[in-house]
Chains A and B, each alone.
Chain A
Amino acid sequence: MKTDIILSGVGGQGILSIATIIGEAATRTGLALKQAEVHGMSQRGGDVQSNLRLSDTSIASDLIALGTADMIISLEPMEALRYLPYLSKDGWIITSSAPFKNIPNYPDEQALADELRAQPHVVSLDVEQLARENHMQKSANVILLGAAASFLKILDAATLRESVGRIFASKGEEVVNMNYRAFDIGHEYVKSLGL
């Protein structure tokens, strides 16, 4: 079994933390992993992505081929759409619906939302808003990870949740518990959709 994930967002939003948590879960369960990251100039507010590949057999390429990604997990709706050509026929898009507008020519928000909604397999949720409502502004990315958990067939949600705890362990119990809650909020949200 193999799962190819494209993580996307804007430099500074924290997509690499999501990758770190999934990576921890994958290595702990003995899966092979390759994760191509973006360092350097793009991190200054440009579009950033990471190719994360998990498999129970060995992985050749660090990069995901067009039409083969099982998931796009994105912290920004336009950045989710940027990688559409990489998505496989039955692949899912799990994305934040809140636009990050740091460019003057950002597309029309409604048109963007409509195009996203027109995709066959998409979960779009305002993780920023959910984070604010639950007083966990810094955990928007973990809410998104919780939402993605149901679709990550290669890892079960409990294992992922455990990794959330392990990654934040050094920051103290309070931070760990907040991130557990964030994960649960995302996870419950998707369950409530009854997909």
Chain B
Amino acid sequence: MENNDKLLLLGDQAIALGAIHAGISGVYAYPGTPSTEITEYIQDSPLARGRGLHSTWCTNEKTAMEAALGMSYVGKRALVCMKHVGMNVCADAFVNSAITGVNGGIVVLAADDPSMHSSQNEQDSRFYGKFAMVPILEPSSQQEAYNMMEYAYDLSEKEKLPVLMRITTRMAHSRAAVKVKEKFSDVTCTGRESVPSDWVLLPGNARRRYLEVIAEQPQLLALSETSPFNKSVFKDGMSERGIVACGIGYNYVMENYPDGCPYPIVKISQYPLPMEQLTRLADSCKEVLVVEDGQPFVEEQLKGLLPSRYVVKGSLSGDLPRTGELTPDNVKAALGIESGQVYAPARNLVPRPPALCVGCGHRDVYDALNRVAAEYPGAKIFGDIGCYTLGALPPFRTLNSCVDMGASITMAKGAADAGQFPAIAVIGDSTFTHSGMTGLLDAVNDKANITVVISDNLTTAMTGGQDSAGTNKFEAICIGLGVEPEHVRVVVPLPKNMEEITRVIREEIEYDGVSVIIPRRECIQTLNRKLKKKRAEKK
């Protein structure tokens, strides 16, 4: 949708277009809310297709990060995208990529999800950036997100370090008009001569590189002080309060002051923290309020970096909530402004939690598991991450656990090691290839008495139906990992097959060893979309 030279873009899409315009050669990602739309935009972009940019999905965030590192090694720019918990999966590669350094620029995009709209924790990715000692960028608007991409790649190549860009759900999934460049970079190649030993992290080389990364830190700090994305507005004299606002936190502050903020304010969109500006702010006010989405990353640092006589407030002090995302309302309260709420909450109102779609194959899987589990009092069914996690809720209540990608298989194994019988794992097809395969090998090698259900709907359904890495390969993968071929069973999860499915589950529970049951039926959402497309083509 165009308005003169402006495009109406989600934050995710602004980042994607910014990266294309910055001349990347590829995006590497595993789908995860709220980051998925970045890669999807690049996949659908005619410009990206014309340039032959790599944009197919990766098996998980670690393979994504490593592939990007390879692209960087040969001098090309790469983008890596993931949701916050994906940072845990790729942490090994991410942290070490600061030690190897980069040749072509790398931007690692982590989309955090405060309020856990679609997640299992509220971890704040900025800690990873500090941990790895790399620059962090945090845009406050869709326009800034677009503008930042070229800056980020230049910064990455100049400092020879990957750059972490951190956004939160509201930035990712909110639309605004973005002015885009008329002229932009072609695919770039730095042609940088790498010091070969930089990339060989044997202790001797790694020690040298670590010292170099540490020596670079004052320069990163200096760049934050002069960053075009950090902004300070100071006032004359002593103010009652000073504000530090990070990323979109800045918008919530400004929303409450349509005629301009009456307090001195430092807007942070690039880290490490610009301490010169922050010290000046602290010196000019009686207390500092830190407004940041996520965990108290800045608040905690300021408490340590500023002398103890300064008063720092934020979520640790209770002025802002410790959990959940920022809103104009909780920021309003922290600023001491009265709420404008007029109407009380309605009386005739109940929650409406999400549910598995009508006609979804997972429903039949849970129906069957519940029938068989009823015959085995004490049965434990370990779940995993995807649409099918909803099987933990009524009406099914089938699952006893959901922890992280792949944990169903390994938790079932650990429980079986401790004597649990039956120990059953339920995992989706995409989750299995993401992080379940290695756990299955552990189980095979230990001859663990577990039953693994790979509920295969031929797609990564939870995030909207992206390609699933293992489609058509699951039997071969399981047999290849050492599961006995006669204990790799495929069924079609439909109500009319209930008798067969329950029989297969019963037989495989009774088998003393690793068995895999693959209920396979296409996701009802992707199926409907395909049928709709077909009908449209017929017309």
Contacts and interface: CB of A to CB of B under 8 A. Distances in A.
B8 A44 contact: no
| Interface-central residue, B10, B173, B177, B348, by most chain A CB under 10 Å | B348
B425 to A, nearest CB: 21
A47 B255 contact: no
A82 B349 contact: yes
Given A44-B387, A63-B170, A27 B355 contact: no
Contacts of A191: none
Interface stretch (B41-49, B269-277, B339-347, B512-520): B339-347
A115 B390 contact: no
Contacts of A37: 10, 173-175
B176 interface: yes
Interface string A162-191: 000000000010000000000000000000
A64 B170 CA distance: 12
Given A39-B37, A62-B251, A64-B328, A32 B354 contact: no
B3 A107 contact: no
Nearest to B326: A63
A1 interface: no
A178 to B, nearest CB: 14
Contacts of B170: 36, 62-63
Given A63-B170, A65-B340, A78 B8 contact: no
B350 A107 contact: yes
Given A38-B117, A64-B328, A44 B390 contact: yes
Interface residues of A, number: 53
Nearest to B142: A34
B353 interface: yes
Interface in B92-124: 117-118
Contact of A106 (B37, B254, B329, B350): B350
B34 A39 contact: yes
Interface string B452-465: 00000000001110
Contacts of A18: none
A115 B355 contact: no
Interface in B449-479: 462-464
Contact of B357 (A44, A103, A106, A172): A44
Interface in B344-386: 344-357
Given A40-B118, A62-B251, A33 B8 contact: yes
Contacts of B344: 84-85
A112 to B, nearest CB: 4
A139 to B, nearest CB: 16
B445 interface: no
A46 B355 CA distance: 7
Contacts of B463: 40
B175 A65 contact: no
Contacts, number: 155
A81 B348 contact: yes
Contacts of B210: none
Nearest to A120: B343
Determine the main DSSP class of B at the interface with A. Answer: loop
A63 B255 CA distance: 10
Interface string A36-64: 11111111111100000000000111111
A68 interface: yes
Given A33-B177, A35-B175, A44 B348 contact: no
Given A40-B463, A81-B346, A115-B346, A23 B175 contact: yes
A192 interface: no
Given A36-B174, A40-B33, A102 B328 contact: no
A81 B32 CA distance: 31
A89 interface: yes
Contacts of B332: 65
Given A27-B1, A65-B329, A81-B348, A41 B177 contact: no
A107 B348 contact: yes
Contact of B356 (A35, A44, A103, A107): A44
B448 interface: no
A89 B248 contact: no
Given A34-B176, A42-B117, A87-B342, A112 B348 contact: yes
Interface of A: 10-11, 23-24, 27-28, 30, 32-47, 59-68, 78-79, 81-82, 84-85, 87-89, 102-103, 105-108, 111-112, 115, 119, 172
25 contacts: A24-B1, A27-B3, A33-B8, A35-B175, A35-B176, A37-B174, A39-B34, A40-B117, A40-B463, A41-B117, A44-B354, A45-B354, A46-B353, A60-B255, A61-B251, A65-B327, A66-B341, A78-B350, A79-B352, A85-B345, A103-B350, A103-B353, A107-B349, A112-B348, A115-B348
Given A27-B3, A60-B252, A115-B346, 20 more contacts: A23-B1, A27-B177, A32-B177, A38-B117, A40-B462, A40-B463, A41-B33, A42-B117, A43-B354, A44-B354, A45-B354, A45-B355, A45-B357, A47-B351, A65-B327, A67-B339, A78-B352, A82-B346, A103-B350, A119-B343
